[in-house]
Amino acid sequence: MPSPIVSEPGEGVRAPLRPNGVCDREGSSVRRNQAITVSVATAALLLSACGGTGNGTGNEILVSAASSLTEAFTEMETAFESANPGFDVVLNIGGSSALREQILAGAPADVFASANTSNMDLVVSAGDVGGEPLIFARNRLEIAVPIGNPGSVTALADFARDELLIGLCAESVPCGEYGQRALHNADVAASVDTEEPNVRALLTKIEVGELDAGIVYETDVASTDGVDGVEIPYGDNVHADYPIAVLAETPNADGAAAFVAFVLSPEGRAILADHGFVLP
Amino acid sequence: MTKRMDSSDRRKRRPPVVLVVLAALGLFVFVIPLLGLLARTPWRDLPTLLASDVVVDALRVSLIASLGATAISAILGVPLAWVLARVEFRGRSIVRGLVVLPLVLPPVVGGAALLFALGRRGLIGEPLNQATGLVFPFSIWGVIIAATFVAMPFLVITVEGGLRNLDARYEGAAATLGAGRWTVLRRVTLPMIGPSLAAGLALTWARALGEFGATVTFAGNLQGRTQTLPLAVFVALESDRGAAVALSLIMVVISLTVLIALRQRWWGTL
């Protein structure tokens, strides 16, 4: 289930956003985070007064990342922290549109990684991004079917078969928008039975066999043993661009830039490739 | 004795300040979100939004599903309440626990459980599908079943409470006067538990109308077929906030109107 929209004013209080329990590693309270923010800010002030640029310990980087990045970014976090012991990456995973709403509403975050460019563009045009967003990964769509393919689905054209139970993502999330575009490319009028609120909910209903087919990302099919994949031909397929950017209001610009640089580094790219992403 | 009555009377007239302040804060918890909703309402676009396809479809699905769930709850829930209130049997407390379980269970868990039981590949759903071709998920029946699952407990516990408070001697008297069991039920029992039944039906309907988690998990989300008002709000929040607010406002107005009207009509004594 995607996260509820958090609309706290960004007053420097770095309230932990953890809708999916992804960042539940330690029971850090708002008060503690606030204390950390204050001490980090104080340390930064003192250091800058001395002409230093270093970061203190307990330096937190809050990364808002799209649900389809869940596994890749969890691994990214571990790798980044062991390469940069001074930093603490906290992941806030959710649907790209929900994350966008959080950022626009002023929720604190240092880095935004979206599953499409349109959500990033909205954040950019609101003036919430520092610097230019960079495309760090690409994803393609794939048809997911239950193991054994009981509906004998071989192409997008099968989505028009009325007797099959077909699922898509809701059009408000990127995978739904892409899925509709792929169906349009293939000139298929799909007989859709459900529009799931996010790609993982759709994947689950296919895994348990309640749906005969659905359009998900290639990385989603790769993430589970519970579904089979049916390729969508290159001409009909849609290529999802994943942009990443440091947010303008970040109190931790150095840390945020370091994390983005790590995602774009050979090590970061290797992690993304491992999880089935296509590299730009 | 008289003196004590007096002092309690005076206390009724002047409630302790602390209590009033806390009560006001308690009320604020309910009122503040409503104010937030009203503040974000696009009043000028409201008529257009209310007439849009998404809103009209969701309203229709929600009314059909919530009324259907209330009807099923009445047909199955009243007998269940009667058995729980009037029949002594082993394991009654376990049955009562099972009945109220949906009240505390997260609806998403209920929806997943329904999927595993009544889904096309479910425990009962699969043989049922092979025998009859029926598929509950992704249909209006799935929405009704999900709403019944989460809402029927309200009817059962309210009616059971009413039956327990009912003096069984009225029924006994009717029986000794020659009324058959059906006549007693129809002419004595049901009229006497009328207020509890009405309250139970209202709560059941209100809960069914607001149902989200079990519905989206078990019945999916498709405009015009399974997308209820809460589902439409959830989807619209990320794409069209004006529509989301309009949909929310409809739910608030409908629920509040019905609950206030029923309270005055039937709950005056409760």
Q: What is the mean pLDDT of each run of 10 residues along chain A (280 residues)?
A: 38 38 38 45 40 48 91 94 92 88 88 92 87 91 95 95 94 90 95 91 93 94 92 92 92 91 95 91
Looking at the structure of chain A, the number of domains it has is 2
**Number of Cβ within a 10 Å radius of residue A224:** 14
Identify whether residues A246 and A134 lie together within a single domain: yes
Per-residue confidence (pLDDT) for residue B64, from 0 to 100: 97
The one-letter amino acid at A10:
G
Identify whether residues B26 and B102 lie together within a single domain: no
Identify whether residues A121 and A184 lie together within a single domain: no
CB contact under 8 Å between A195 and B223, yes or no, is: yes
Helix B229-237 × helix B241-266 angle, to 10°: 150
Identify whether residues B7 and B111 lie together within a single domain: no
Q: Are B34 and B238 in contact (CB under 8 A)?
A: no
Domain encompassing residue B122: 46-266
Pick from B213, B221, B226: CB nearest A170: B221
Q: Check if B121 contacts A (Cβ < 8 Å).
A: yes
Identify whether residues A43 and A179 lie together within a single domain: no
Q: Give me the mean pLDDT over the B138-150 stretch.
A: 96
Identify whether residues A104 and A125 lie together within a single domain: yes
Pick from B108, B116, B119: CB nearest A1: B108
Examine residue A9 and state whether it is found in any structural domain, yes or no: no
Examine residue A24 and state whether it is found in any structural domain, yes or no: no
pLDDT band at B10 (very low <50, low <70, confident <90, very high): low
Rounded to whole angstroms, how far apart are CA atoms B163 and A242? 61
Per-residue confidence (pLDDT) for residue A137, from 0 to 100: 95
Rounded to whole angstroms, how far apart are CA atoms B79 and B84? 9
pLDDT band at B12 (very low <50, low <70, confident <90, very high): low
Domain encompassing residue A168: 139-239
Beta bridge partners of A92: A64
Identify whether residues B3 and B63 lie together within a single domain: no
Examine residue A280 and state whether it is found in any structural domain, yes or no: no
Q: Which residues of A touch B (CB under 8 A)?
A: 1-2, 5, 95, 97-98, 101, 165, 167, 170-173, 192-197, 201, 205, 208-211
Identify whether residues B35 and B147 lie together within a single domain: no
CATH of the domain at A215: 3.40.190.10
Q: Which residues of B69-93 are buried (b: 16+ CB within 10 A; e: fewer)?
A: bbebbbeebbebbbebbeeeeeeee
Examine residue A14 and state whether it is found in any structural domain, yes or no: no
pLDDT band at B8 (very low <50, low <70, confident <90, very high): low
Q: What angle do CA B198, B203, B206 make, to 5 degrees?
A: 125
Per-residue confidence (pLDDT) for residue A38, from 0 to 100: 44
Share of chain B above pLDDT 90, in %: 57
CATH of the domain at B241: 1.10.3720.10
CB contact under 8 Å between B237 and A193, yes or no, is: no
Pick from B121, B220, B239: CB nearest A193: B220
Please list, in sequence order, all residues whose beta carbon lies within 8 angstroms of the beta carbon of residue B187, skipping any fewer than 6 positions away. Answer: B174, B179
Identify whether residues B12 and B31 lie together within a single domain: yes
Mean per-residue pLDDT over chain B, rounded: 88
Identify whether residues A205 and A263 lie together within a single domain: no
Rounded to whole angstroms, how far apart are CA atoms B252 and A57? 48
The one-letter amino acid at A240:
A
Examine residue A149 and state whether it is found in any structural domain, yes or no: yes
Q: Check if B138 contacts A (Cβ < 8 Å).
A: yes
B154-190 residue pLDDT tens = 999 999 999 988 888 888 888 888 888 888 888 888 8
Q: Which residues of B207-232 are buried (b: 16+ CB within 10 A; e: fewer)?
A: bbbbbbbbbbbbbbbbbebbbbbbbb
CB contact under 8 Å between A197 and B221, yes or no, is: yes
Looking at the structure of chain B, the number of domains it has is 2
Rounded to whole angstroms, how far apart are CA atoms B198 and B265? 10
Rounded to whole angstroms, how far apart are CA atoms A108 and A60? 12
Examine residue A74 and state whether it is found in any structural domain, yes or no: yes
Identify whether residues A64 and A107 lie together within a single domain: yes
Please list, in sequence order, all residues whose beta carbon lies within 8 angstroms of the beta carbon of residue A190, skipping any fewer than 6 positions away. Answer: A156, A159, A160, A166, A168, A183
Identify whether residues B205 and B258 lie together within a single domain: yes
Per-residue confidence (pLDDT) for residue A209, from 0 to 100: 93
Chain A residue numbers with beta carbons less than 8 Å from the beta carbon of B142 are: none
HSE on the CB side for A3, CA within 13 Å?
Answer: 29
Tell me the backbone φ, ψ of residue A52, rounded to 5 degrees.
-85, 160
Rounded to whole angstroms, how far apart are CA atoms A7 and A15? 11
Chain A residue numbers with beta carbons less than 8 Å from the beta carbon of B225 are: 193
Q: What is the dihedral of CA A175, A181, A183, A185, to 10 degrees?
A: -140
Examine residue A50 and state whether it is found in any structural domain, yes or no: yes
Examine residue A88 and state whether it is found in any structural domain, yes or no: yes
Report how many Cβ contacts below 8 Å link chain A to chain B.
65
Identify whether residues A158 and A123 lie together within a single domain: no
Identify whether residues B193 and B82 lie together within a single domain: yes
Identify whether residues B35 and B80 lie together within a single domain: no
Rounded to whole angstroms, how far apart are CA atoms A48 and B98? 63
**Among residues 201-260 of chain B, which lie with CB inside 8 Å of chain A?**
213, 216-217, 220-223, 225-226, 234-239
CB contact under 8 Å between A101 and B237, yes or no, is: yes
Per-residue confidence (pLDDT) for residue B195, from 0 to 100: 85
Q: Determine the 3-state secondary structure of B238 from DSSP.
A: coil
